[in-house]
Amino acid sequence: MKLFTYATSPYARKAQMALEFKGVEFEPIERCYSLDRKEDLRAASERAEVPVLVLDDGRTISDSTIICEYLEDAFPTPPLFPKDPFARAEMRSIEELCDRGFDAVSYGYWMSQLRKDSPEADAMARAARDEFAQLLARLESALGERQFFFDTISIADLSAICYVPSAPAMNIAMDRYPHLGAWVQRMRQVAAVAADNQRLKRALAKVHDIASELEGPDGKIHWRDARLEWPVRKGFIDLVMREFRADKMMFPPDAC
Ligand SMILES: N[C@@H](CCC(=O)N[C@@H](CS)C(=O)NCC(=O)O)C(=O)O
């Protein structure tokens, strides 16, 4: 199998950690279409997003949630889903909170840093910090005194570990979230998570500035669903309009 992946993409990281946790052999291929425009990723995924899993016979599976469900079905041991149906539903809700909520808020924060000379930059950074803190509080209470979000490590943990440790980079102190703080340390004892953290550190060490992580060769930035909703919902629609009018937005193609 192959995995189109990218060391700083939370979705790709989740899928790669799931493969590694389950001990499935695969070849990682680092791609980010909006930054490198490599056509092999576009050929494998109509949305040209990572992650994409390519099976040995060439069939492909896109979307981190769908990939993780496939991996759980195809390689049930060790499990990454709880057994109880209600716990499975709760696990999916935490994954969704990360994929939709944390992702959009983080994107909003990094956009505010990228456009730091824009009139709304400070307010946007504050709004993103406030909402990120609310999301952390939700996870802190969902985790409680437990070792992991459910009886054993699950997709909820692999999703959340892609966001929680970025709080300090957004100037959010972790001392209000003691359970999450201890959980991050515990998670980093897990081999697949430790390997992911090493890859992330290596990738971040090479990042010159935020622009090089977000803007493609033509200056366009990838936008989609919740990432677009967040600045509109928070009242930063003028920034969105300026990006759109300046032709700096790249969207997934129609009908996919
Ligand atoms: N719903 C998708 C979202 C995947 C996604 O948005 N991936 C981003 C990276 S974080 C991407 O590939 N964006 C396209 C680009 O930047 O070229 C999933 O869960 O896999």
How far from 246 is each of 14, 182, 219, 221, 231, CA to CA, in Å? 33, 44, 10, 11, 17
Whether the Cβ atoms of residue 187 and residue 157 lie closer than 8 Å to each other: yes
Mean pLDDT over 85-109 rounds to 98
Distance (angstroms) between ligand 1 centre and the Cα of 11 equals 7
8-26, pLDDT tens digit by residue? 999 999 999 999 999 999 9
Give the pLDDT of residue 123.
98
- 223 CA to middle of ligand 1, Å? 9
State pLDDT tens for residues 158-196. 999 999 999 999 999 999 999 999 999 999 999 999 999
pLDDT value of residue 108:
98
Residue-level pLDDT at 106 = 98
pLDDT tier, 208 (very low <50, low <70, confident <90, very high otherwise): confident
| Beta strands at 52-54 and 2-5: parallel, antiparallel or unpaired | antiparallel
Nearest Cα residue to atom 20 of ligand 1: 63
Q: What is the mean pLDDT of the chain?
A: 97
Q: If you measure from the C-alpha of residue 81 to the centroid of ligand 1, how many angstroms do you get, rounded to a whole number?
A: 23
Minimum CA distance residue for ligand 1 atom 16: 34
- Which pLDDT belongs to residue 238? 98
Q: Is the pLDDT of residue 216 over 90?
A: yes
The percentage of the chain sitting over the pLDDT mark of 70, rounded to a whole number, equals 100
Q: Sorting pLDDT into bands at 50, 70 and 90, what band is 39? A: very high
User: How do beta strands 52-54 and 221-222 pair?
Assistant: unpaired
Span from the CA of 96 to the centroid of ligand 1 (angstroms): 14
**Percent of the chain with pLDDT strictly greater than 90:** 99
With a Cβ cut-off of 6 Å, ligand 1 is lined by 9, 11, 32-34, 48-51, 63-65, 99, 222
Domains of the chain: 2-74 (3.40.30.10), 85-210 (1.20.1050.10)
